[in-house]
Structure formats: structure tokens, C-alpha cells
Structure 1
Amino acid sequence: MANTELREALNKVVVEGTLAEIRSNEWSNKNGKKGINIELDIETDKFSVHTLKGMSSYTTKDGNESKKAKAFKTMIDEYKSIANSSREEADKIRAEGKLGLNEYFANEELKSYPELSLNFARRQSIDEFEPQATFDVEMFVENVAQERANGEETGRAVLNGHIPLYGGKVIPFSFVVTEEGSEYVADNYEKHSTVNVYGEIVNYKERTEKEKESAFGKPKVEVERKTKREYLVTAGQDPYDEDNKNTYNPEIIEKALNEREIELDQKKQEANKDANSKNNKKKGGFGGGKSAASNNKPVTIADDDLPF
């Protein structure tokens, strides 16, 4: 049951860059509702690509055509990407969305990864084009710790807490705070305080080649790959006062966290049930049938998964 007492937090993501690729698939649920999923890969520089995922049914709850689904179809049919065109012709776009988590169970273990949800996107002219990947988020603080790498403190801080979402749900989330702001955050962002932070989404992939000299023949090429993913807080506001109407009540957050544990337990049971069902089907001998991972079938979506 949704916790209607819990206010949805400010949660805004902006990714602006060159459209690298669009992927999509249609889905239907057990009630006959149909819709579409979409993924946009946006290149903000030659080393950074950010993926935003959107989902919408084709009709609203009152039976009208969904404007979001219509916008997704326009992107799929009309937008030019590096993958379907060329880097020179690919559209410059600005996408807005939210921070979220992709969570599922595998072998009874919870897998949880940050992801960016897509609200909408539009094409940008060269004059207004400003490549970026940024966030502006409110959160309920759990703790602040010093970041460590190879056993040594880096000078940065790790900010852990929870972000209240639509429908009274909460998700855990961790940010990294720059060296310039780490001391302030450690001294002022106390447990159970409500804060507003903003910064940069880092998704950095670099491939470099280095030739190793040889006594004879062609030089050996050694390839080095560097990957860095983090949500870097570059600035933030003072913690909200206790009497601020936007300050989160710890008791309400705790209630939402308890509801989250119940939902996760249900997901775990469903994952185990699906795994057992697939294992039983595999015992039928050699040949015949199609893999459950076949891309020719629409994805099944539950009503509870819809973002409205």
C-alpha cells in the first residue's frame, strides 16, 4: 500500500548531448494494456555516454492517447542517431528525467544499480546546445563517511541516504562529494536531516592503445581501458530546518522503508518462482521450444510497474 504521507522529493536529471543510439520494444500486461519502452544513449563527450530509460502505456487511465507514448514514437521514427545515421547528422538533444534504481534478484541475491529514467527529450539547436549530465536532488541523510581507495582516504566524502519517489516509495542512494565540499558535508549533514544537493553524473570510458617495442616483427599493441561511474556532488544547500514543511519526518521514512522491505521480499519470492518454473521447463529433453529470452515476444509488464 502506497505511503500517501510521503512527499516526492525534488529529483531532476538533465542530460544534453549527441544522440548515440535509440532502442525500443513494445509490451503488454495481463490486463491487455499495451505500451512501449525506450532507451536513449546520449554522448556528452567522446568518453561519456549516458543511458535514459522510459516507459509508457499507449493510453492513459481514462482511455485517452498517452502524450508520452506518442513522444516516444516520434523519437524512434524521426530522431537521427550516430547508430542509424552518422555522427555529423545525429541530433543534439536535451533529455530530462530522474535518478532511480534498477533492482532484481538473481540466485536469491538482490542486485541494485543506479539508472536514469526518461521523462521527455527534445532536439536542440546548435546555438542552445550545452553538453552536460547533471542532477538536482533532495534526500534524507543516513550517514556521511570518508571515501577510501586502496586503504587511504581520498579527501572526498560519501553521502548515503534515501530518495523519496512518487507513490510513497523510497530508494537508497549514495553520492560522492568533492574535496571542496567534503568537510562541510561531514560537519553539517547529520543523520536524518533533509538536504538538497546537485552535481555531475560521471560515466567515463576511455580506451587507449600503447605500442610495446619488439626486437623483430610488428610492435605489440597493449590496450588499456578506464571506466568511472559516480554521482558527484559539487554543491548543496544548508540542511532544511526542522520546522520547514519540506523536511522529512524520520517516522514516515521508516514506515516507507518497512514497506520497501515487504515489496523486496515479494520480488524475491516471485524471482524464485520464475527460476523454478524455467528450470522445470528445461528438463523436457533436447530440442523444441524457444528461449524465454527471445526478442520476438513483447515484454510483460505488471500494472504496479507503470509510472502512473
Structure 2
Amino acid sequence: MANTELREAMNKVVVEGTLAEIRSNEWGNKKGINIELDIETDEFSVHTLKGMSSYTTKEGNESKKAKAFQTMIDEYKSIANSSREEADKIRAEGKLGLNEYFANNELKSYPELSLNFARRQSIDEFEPQATFDVEMFVENVAQERANGEETGRAILNGHIPLYGGKVIPFSFVVTEEGSEYVADNYEKHSTVNVYGEIVNYKERTEKEKESAFGKPKVEVERKTKREYLITAGQDPYDEDSKNVYNPEIIEKALNEREIELDQKKQEANKDANSKNNKKKSGFGGGKPATSNNKPVTIEDDDLPF
């Protein structure tokens, strides 16, 4: 059961750039749609936001969110379906989240950007960016290390309360300028508001290696960097603030999270065993494969953004 005592944290992501590609697919039961936007904020950075919506609300009315998604699919120009010169400049807003699943009995967890809405921007108001503004419940602060040495930056670990009383773990990197302040002031179980930049950096460089004869050999180097970089933050909330998170309620939500993850693990193992059994059946005597993988019907009011 969702822990409804837990206030949803402020959790805002803004990604503004050139629409690189848009992908979508309809739910298997034809009652909703999934959408993904790839937005290029500079020459080396592309950010993906994912959205989903049923076609109708709980009251049976047409979903404005699904209608907006369909407009993006039908009308927006991207680099992939048009050209870089003609591709739309867009501003998308969403939230920080996690994509979590089990593979080989192991939990895989990756940061993910959910999509709330997007709109086209004029050249005059266009400001490429990928930023976040988030409240979180602090677990600890540690010094970042690379190759056994401290980098001067800090790692802020904590939990972000989501819609419906759920929480997710999340880690941020703090700039060198702010690392000392965060280490000294962001105590365990404090509630804080931080903001900064979403870094998703991919660079491909080519270097020619001289040869005694023939064409020079071209060596390709690729660099990838992904992090959520805190560039600024507020003082921790006062203890008597109505927005301070209660550690006991957070703990309750974390216990519920563990129960849900255990259920997800059992379902993943069940699906894996079912697939293995089907493979063993070979041909001739095996039963035809059937699928029970139906999308969960999610109404607009149930979406966490």
C-alpha cells in the first residue's frame, strides 16, 4: 500500500534543445501510448525523456496528455525525420526517476528522465540547457575518488519522495566549489533543495597514426560522461519547517519499496523460468508460446508527473 503520508518532493527537470529524434509505440491493449524524445542541447550532449499516458481519463474523457503526445509525433520535426536546419527547437519538462528491473537475479537501476510536456520554442526564447531543481532527504555525503585519489568533489546520497508515497535512492555529484559546504552542512536525515546540470556527454575524436607507407591509421576515441551535477543549493530546511521529511515516514516508504522490489524480482524469475521451459520444448510436442505481458493501464491522475 502506498504511503500517502509522504509529501511528494519538488522534482523538476528542464531540457531545452534541438529535437534529435522522437519514438513512440502504442500499448498492446490499444488503450495508451509511450513516447521518447531525444533532445540535443549541444554538439556532444543528447538527453532522452520518456512519457506515457492512457488515451482516456478515469472519467472517460479524452486525455490531454495523450493528445499532446500525438501532436508531437505527427507534427514535430526532428533531425532524424527532417534535417538539423529544419528540426524544432523545443523545451521539455519532467522529473528525475529511476528505470529499475531485474536481470539474472540482480537489480539493475539507472537514472531516467520522465516527460511531463514539451513545446516548441522560438529562436528568440531558445536557451539550450539540461537542468534539475530537486528536494531530497539526505542519507550521507562522501568525497568523490578517482584512481584512488580524492577529486575535490563530493557525492550526495539520499532519497527523493515521489508521487503516491514512494521513494527512490539517488546520488548527485557536487562541484568543488560546493563540496565543503555540503559536507559540513548537509547532515544525515536533513531535507535539502539542490539544483544543477544534467551531464550526458558523448564525444568522438579521430587521431591519425603515422605510417611508414600507405594511408595513416585512424584511431577513434570515444568519451562518455553521465552525472547529475549540483552547482548550487539552499541551506537545509529548519527542523520545524512543514516541508521537513520525517525519518520514520521515509523508513516506512523504504520498507514498502523493498517489498515491491522483492515482488518484481519474483516476477522476473518466473518469466525467466517460463522462457527457459519454452526453449526446452523444442518443436513438434511443445505448446505454442503465449504472452501475458499486457501494459498496466495508467490514468493521467495516476502518473507521477
Same fold (TM over 0.5): yes
CA offsets per residue over residues 164-186 of structure 1, 9 Å max, x none? 00000000000000000000000
SS at match of 1:138: strand
1:299 positional shift: 9.1
- TM-score scaled by length of structure 2: 0.94
Unaligned runs of 5+ in 2: none
Aligned residue pairs: how many?
305
CA offsets per residue over residues 16-63 of structure 1, 9 Å max, x none? 000000000011459xxx100000000000100000000000001111
| Partners of 1:4 and 1:297 in 2: CA distance | 27
CA offsets per residue over residues 286-305 of structure 1, 9 Å max, x none? 59999999999989989998
| Partners of 2:222 and 2:256 in 1: CA distance | 41
| Partners of 1:145 and 1:24 in 2: CA distance | 40
Mapped contact 2:36–2:51 kept (Cα < 8 A): yes
SS at match of 1:299: coil
SS at match of 2:269: helix
After superposing the two structures, state which structure 1 stretch, 287-296 or 93-102, moved more.
Answer: 287-296
CA offsets per residue over residues 103-144 of structure 1, 9 Å max, x none? 000011000000000000000000000000000000000000
Q: 1:212 to 1:297 in 2, by over 3 A?
A: farther
Q: 1:155 to 1:29 in 2, by over 3 A?
A: same
1:284 positional shift: 2.5
| Partners of 1:290 and 1:205 in 2: CA distance | 46
1:278 positional shift: 1.1
Q: 1:302 to 1:110 in 2, by over 3 A?
A: farther
**What's the C-alpha RMSD, in Å, of the aligned pairs?**
2.8
SS at match of 1:217: coil
| Partners of 2:165 and 2:229 in 1: CA distance | 26
1:246 positional shift: 0.2
Mapped contact 2:101–2:264 kept (Cα < 8 A): yes
1:217 to 214, 218, 226: 214
Aligned to 1:170: 167
| Partners of 1:223 and 1:297 in 2: CA distance | 43
Aligned to 2:240: 243
| Partners of 1:148 and 1:101 in 2: CA distance | 24
| Identity across matched positions, percent | 95
Q: How does 1:62-101 map to 2 (within 5 A)?
A: 62-101=59-98
Q: 1:290 to 1:59 in 2, by over 3 A?
A: farther
1:262 to 259, 264, 282: 259
1:251 positional shift: 0.3
| Partners of 2:288 and 2:303 in 1: CA distance | 26
Aligned to 1:35: 32
Q: 1:238 to 1:103 in 2, by over 3 A?
A: same
| Partners of 2:40 and 2:284 in 1: CA distance | 43
Unaligned runs of 5+ in 1: none
Mapped contact 1:140–1:195 kept (Cα < 8 A): yes
Q: 1:293 to 1:12 in 2, by over 3 A?
A: farther
| Partners of 2:189 and 2:293 in 1: CA distance | 47
1:285 positional shift: 1.6
Mapped contact 1:25–1:298 kept (Cα < 8 A): no
Q: 1:265 to 1:124 in 2, by over 3 A?
A: same
Q: 1:297 to 1:7 in 2, by over 3 A?
A: closer
| Partners of 1:83 and 1:125 in 2: CA distance | 20
Q: 1:304 to 1:281 in 2, by over 3 A?
A: farther
Mapped contact 1:108–1:268 kept (Cα < 8 A): yes
Mapped contact 2:29–2:295 kept (Cα < 8 A): no
CA offsets per residue over residues 205-262 of structure 1, 9 Å max, x none? 0000000000000000000000000000000000000100000000000000000000
Q: 1:295 to 1:3 in 2, by over 3 A?
A: closer
SS at match of 1:273: helix
